[in-house]
Amino acid sequence: MKNITRRGALALGAGAAAMLAGCGGKFMTYDGPAVTRVIIHKSGRQMYLLNGQTALKACPVQLGFTAHGPKRFEGDGRTPEGRYFIDRRNPNSAFYLSIGIDYPNAFDRAYAESLGKRPGGDIFIHGWGEKKRGSRDWTAGCVAVTNKEMRHVYAMVRNGTPVDIYA
């Protein structure tokens, strides 16, 4: 067995620490310009994180399993359309990480009531979770991005940020 010198042990320890740091965790820090608005274009399956008029990040999205049209009631499989705000965060999401959208608003509730239905809720921007996902829409009405993208979104977007979702 080869003897390990103190210098060699320190080098091994430093290398292991660097390797672990490179593995990264679930959370990352962000110290760039503030995200002042999130825009989601359902038809283009694209989300943009903006600072003013400057796009800081763009990423493809997957939507509710019945993506065409605005969310109207619980269980319709649609992603809402309109202006909402980020109102909560879930670091322990079943879908990796998630940030909540304050759906339903007063209009959504009134519309669903006029149909004799419930508007639903728990709409999030979230990761894919543990399963591999294809290119098809699959959520119950949420906006999904890869786990890697969600790490960035979770770090960059703060509670209170407006979210505009367009058809």
Give the SS3 label for residue 144. Answer: strand
pLDDT string in tens for the chain (167-residue length): 444 444 443 333 433 333 334 446 899 999 999 999 999 999 999 999 999 999 999 999 999 999 889 999 999 999 999 999 999 999 999 999 999 999 999 999 999 999 999 999 999 999 999 887 777 999 999 999 999 999 999 999 999 999 999 99
Q: Give the predicted TM-score (pTM) of the model.
A: 0.82
Structure confidence at residue 24 (pLDDT): 62
The torsion angles phi and psi of 116, rounded to 5 degrees, stand at 75, 25
Length of the chain: 167
Structure confidence at residue 64 (pLDDT): 94
Structure confidence at residue 90 (pLDDT): 97
In the sheet that holds 98-101, the strands lie side by side as: 54-60, 46-51, 37-41, 162-166, 82-90, 98-101, 123-126, 143-144
Structure confidence at residue 103 (pLDDT): 97
Q: Answer whether 111's CB lies under 8 Å from 78's CB.
A: no
Q: Which residues pair with 139 in a beta bridge?
A: 64
H or E element: which one contains 141?
none
- Following DSSP, what letter does each residue of 24-85 receive, concatenated? --S-----SSPP-EEEEETTTTEEEEEETTEEEEEEE-B-BTT-SS---STTS-PPP-EEEE
